[in-house]
Amino acid sequence: MKDLSKIFAAGFAQVFLVSANVYFISRLIWLGIAVCGFGISFLWTINVRKVATGTITGQLVYSAGAMCGGLCGVLLAKMIKH
């Protein structure tokens, strides 16, 4: 269960940053773009190893985390903007 939580968090974090970055890019918020861009790239290098060799369960959990991260990333970026 602990491993699945880590996989979920990995997917969540990366897509959270991608969603926030899209929001920042569309509004030309330069600091947000820079922070999210760095974070996306850094997490990607870590996540590739975790998911590529994982089980189908791990891949589904990663995808669920990514879905939740996308929704939360947009919500947070919107709250920061306002």
Q: Which residues have CB under 8 Å from 22's CB, separation 6+?
A: 74
Domain ranges of the chain: 2-76
Record the pTM. 0.75
pLDDT by residue (tens digit) across 9-57?
Answer: 988 999 999 998 998 899 899 999 999 999 998 998 888 877 776 788 8
Tell me the C-alpha distance between 54 and 26, whole Å: 34
Instruction: Provide the pLDDT for residue 82.
Output: 76
Higher-scoring residue by pLDDT: 78, 28: 28
DSSP 55: -
